[in-house]
Amino acid sequence: MKTPLFTFSDAYLAIASPGFAEATIGPLARREAKRPAVQAVTYCTSRKTVLLLRDNHGNIELPGGGMKSSENTETAIRRELLQEAGIGEIESIAVIARSTEIRKRTNFQQNNTGLLVTVNNPAVHTTHLSKRELATGWGFEPLWQPLGTAVETIGDRQPESYGAHFKRTRDLWLITLAWRKIEERFAS
């Protein structure tokens, strides 16, 4: 089966995301930036729940982030889950989608790999944020929710910034794809 691919840009979000036209944006970037990134729908097989993260600003999103040049997708998502949620023990990792965000207002492109990560009864650990993240007061609260509730939580979120509209659209698409995979794999 082919991996689904989704490309979205300002024009798509102007139609698909209420309030996008009014979203606040920072100063325009002076040069184009591209980065590879990973996001994970992290499913706990024992609790039948999905991990969302709430940051210190109240934003709710899937775990993930930019990849370092020395990383592959598996290494990157393992690092991100350990950093953001303190999850170190992972059962499986599978690529379920790829997407490209083209943020024209800020001359930014992000090439995402969407993953379905399974864990079994993860222990609560402390996060392992970078010095830069700690210096800026960054932090995450893990929210384990049933799959349907997690979809509603992401879908009901009203983004307040330009980038948050892209994250919401990407995360909602990814968690919806993962739902189908989870039902196929863990139906009982």
CA 147 to CA 183: how far, in whole Å? 10
Q: Tell me the pLDDT tens digit for each residue of 151-174.
A: 999 988 888 777 888 888 999 999
Question: Which tokens go with 33?
Answer: 């930036």
In a domain, 26, yes or no: no
Residue 142 has pLDDT above 60, yes or no: yes
Domain total in the chain? 1
Residue 178 has pLDDT above 80, yes or no: yes
Q: Tell me the pLDDT tens digit for each residue of 8-57.
A: 777 766 656 655 555 544 454 455 588 899 999 999 998 899 999 888 77
In a domain, 135, yes or no: yes
- What percent of the residues of the chain are helix, what percent strand, and what percent coil, each to the nearest 5? 35, 35, 30
Residue 155 half-sphere exposure toward CB, CA atoms < 13 A: 10
Per-residue CA distances from 173 to 1, 53, 77, 120 (Å) = 18, 17, 18, 24
**Interacting residues of 49 by C-beta distance below 8 A, sequence separation 6+:** 43, 144, 145, 146, 147, 150
In a domain, 15, yes or no: yes
In a domain, 25, yes or no: no
In a domain, 133, yes or no: yes
* pLDDT of the residue at 125: 63
* Residues β-bridged to residue 111: 36, 100
In a domain, 182, yes or no: yes
* pLDDT of the residue at 152: 94
Domain that holds residue 133: 5-20+31-186
